Structure 1
């Protein structure tokens, strides 16, 4: 390896994926703060971590750090990826070409992994995924979807981004708690 390569900042977040996970989280795309920290949902105002800690999905309190990401993946069997891997400061910078390429790539990344469920963080990643993989774009509802991905149940919850202020933390937490309860009832 060229020693200069370590001086080049990463352009995106690595996927944390493996066969047989309990849950795979699919975000829209990484923020510059997340890429800089190499931690999903690392923006200090993102409500992902408080929502996760209060939801009952995990039995410990974690904070945005590489160690917490490793703990989620190894101990709690929760994987992470994004629909679009290109980092942007907001959704306005994403184009149809990003969604088209991202949907195709996501389909390939998830194929054969067979998690117990796939969790889309927001209606936009789920509806854009459907639009560019199946040509359909039904209105997503919160919670369990009628469509599956390769037979895997899909859940959609509001995006915890600070830009999505319409949903307060207690609503986000309740949505994730519903997913946690559903997972706890499944073998």
Structure 2
């Protein structure tokens, strides 16, 4: 069954970390909005954990300078979708599922390098309930946690799913401009349009 709880709450659960070494860390969970997918999804795109902007708006890649949505618009030759409803419709129409490698961690702002106590996402229900044939991780951190924490769960379930690491669309990844990112993301379009 398709799951889309993007509007269930405005904010993720935030609990200040208590130990002294983590004074700047915030405990973040993925409870405010879950995975976006449908039985017709062909690809699953994974970030690491929602950024503060995404947690504020309750949807994926909502920082105004993140290039995720402009990149997807470019590879499908469409205008960039604006707003949560348009972005949800865009992803589902192009058979793209969205989630993260982690559902819980301690993190300082949006700094993936600061992540502590990561808890992996259980991707098995999404993969069992859809036609997803390929996973794409949108950055090194997502790929690392997928490989280290999510992949063993899939292996134990007998799910042999290919994963491709893509460059991050974060504004922090300034070395990659929009045309270069779009070129790197073309395999997402090819996999999403596949009937295999």
Structure with more helix by fraction: 1
Alignment gaps of 5+ in structure 1: 1-5, 136-148
Classify 1:112/1:173 alpha carbon distance in 2 versus 1 (closer, same or farther; 3 Å): same
- TM-score normalized by the length of structure 1: 0.72
- TM-score normalized by the length of structure 2: 0.69
Q: Which residue of the other structure, out of 40, 61, 66, is the alignment partner of 2:84? A: 66
Q: Which residue of the other structure, out of 66, 71, 82, is the alignment partner of 2:100? A: 82
- 1:137-176, aligned counterparts within 5 Å? 150-176=159-185
- Aligned counterparts of 1:30 and 1:67: Cα–Cα separation in 2: 18
What is the match of residue 138 of structure 1? none
What is the match of residue 139 of structure 1? none
- Aligned counterparts of 1:78 and 1:18: Cα–Cα separation in 2: 9
CA RMSD of aligned residues (A): 2.7
What is the match of residue 35 of structure 2? 15
Name the count of aligned residue pairs: 161
- Aligned counterparts of 1:155 and 1:63: Cα–Cα separation in 2: 24
Please state how far the C-alpha of 1:55 moved relative to its aligned partner. Answer: 1.4
Please state how far the C-alpha of 1:80 moved relative to its aligned partner. Answer: 0.7
- Aligned counterparts of 1:160 and 1:185: Cα–Cα separation in 2: 24
Classify 1:115/1:178 alpha carbon distance in 2 versus 1 (closer, same or farther; 3 Å): closer
Classify 1:170/1:108 alpha carbon distance in 2 versus 1 (closer, same or farther; 3 Å): same
Q: Which residue of the other structure, out of 120, 128, 139, is the alignment partner of 1:112? A: 128
Q: Which residue of the other structure, out of 41, 45, 49, is the alignment partner of 1:25? A: 45
- Aligned counterparts of 1:177 and 1:115: Cα–Cα separation in 2: 17
What is the match of residue 128 of structure 1? 145
- Aligned counterparts of 1:29 and 1:151: Cα–Cα separation in 2: 23
Alignment gaps of 5+ in structure 2: 1-6, 13-29, 153-157
